[in-house]
Amino acid sequence: MSATLYQRIQEFYDASSGLWEEIWGEHMHHGYYGAEGTQKKDRRQAQIDLIEEILTWGKIEQLESVLDVGCGIGGSSLYLAGKFHAQATGITLSPVQATRAKERAVELGLTSQTEFMVANAQAMPFADNSFDLVWSLESGEHMPDKNQFIQECYRVLKPGGKLILVTWCHRPTDDSPLSVDEQKHLQDIYRVYCLPYVISLPEYKAIAHQVGLQNIHTADWSKAVAPFWNVVIDSALTPKAIFGLLRAGWTTIVGAFSLGLMRRGYERGLIRFGLLYGVKSRVNGC
């Protein structure tokens, strides 16, 4: 990962995570509003529902150890540790996030079950065959080398372990390449949210096959999560949020005033919310 991108991502989340938690809570990801995106629900409940729906989709019924890649302030890590009585490890590029995740573990009485650290997901500081589940909820879009990222996830999985990757994608391009206008739209999103690039869900599936994952499944939940951005935009217009933005600084302000980029991306079918599941073979530990 280039030092410049690493620094930009770190600074973005160092600056914005406190405000997000203040306004939204501990889960820094989309919410789930029913398969067609028509259900009305509390915004934080929608985020918890997303986690539960992903677990159901991935048929995760028991768990001993999980690695949360791009853990934020520990939302998924702590939820999974508590739900399954599992050992959860979270990694992030943001020291501010890692520190806050540790504080939240203390608050929830989960310090003995959790560990949080600053680490690069493309060169993880873990031994091969370490985790039952690698969980990546909206962090893949930040990875500058998608192949290396998924290869690392595969490496640290135990034989028989599962990868669940949920990430921002662009539409499939088998039938038609991205137009100039679509490419410009994506570039605007990349600039605001510190993303190197995104790829399509079929491209993620091809990488998963290439690294050796088995029993691969994918799903597009764009309709189910698209209402999230309307809710975020509404929440950003409250006095509390506006004062928080002023405290958080310029990059967070730019991100807030660019929320419409994501909403329009979903509306035009350009932005997709992709899920990928795969299993590491038990044969010869590979």
pLDDT above 80: residue 2: no
Residue 285: per-residue pLDDT: 46
Residue 250: per-residue pLDDT: 45
Give the pLDDT band (50/70/90) at residue 18: confident
**Quick count: other Cβ atoms within 10 Å of Cβ 239?**
7
Residue 45: per-residue pLDDT: 95
**Weakest-pLDDT range from 32-36, 114-118, 200-204, 240-244:** 240-244
The answer to whether 184 touches 178, Cβ cutoff 8 Å, is no
Segment 125-174, tens digit of pLDDT: 999 999 999 999 999 999 999 999 999 999 999 999 999 999 999 999 99
H or E stretch covering 12: helix 3-24
Percent of the chain with pLDDT over 70: 90
pLDDT above 80: residue 243: no
Residue 266: per-residue pLDDT: 96
H or E stretch covering 215: strand 214-220
H or E stretch covering 259: helix 259-267
Residue 227: per-residue pLDDT: 95
Percent of the chain with pLDDT over 90: 77
Residue 171: per-residue pLDDT: 98
Segment 81-109, tens digit of pLDDT: 999 999 999 999 999 999 999 999 999 99
| Tokens matching residue 187 | 């570039």
Residue 286: per-residue pLDDT: 43
Tell if the pTM clears 0.75, that is, is over it: yes
Give the pLDDT band (50/70/90) at residue 112: very high
Map out the domains of the chain with their CATH numbers.
3-279 (3.40.50.150)
Q: Measured between alpha carbons, how far is 247 from 77 in angstroms, rounded to an integer?
A: 28
- Segment 33-38 shows an average pLDDT of 97
DSSP string, 126-177: S-SS-EEEEEEES-GGG-S-HHHHHHHHHHHEEEEEEEEEEEEEEPP-SSSP
Segment 44-77, tens digit of pLDDT: 999 999 999 999 999 999 999 999 999 999 999 9
Residue 124: per-residue pLDDT: 98
Segment 205-232, tens digit of pLDDT: 999 999 999 999 999 999 999 999 888 7
How many residues can be counted in the chain? Answer: 286
Residue 234: per-residue pLDDT: 74
Residue 201: per-residue pLDDT: 98
Segment 187-203, tens digit of pLDDT: 999 998 899 999 999 99
Residue 125: per-residue pLDDT: 98
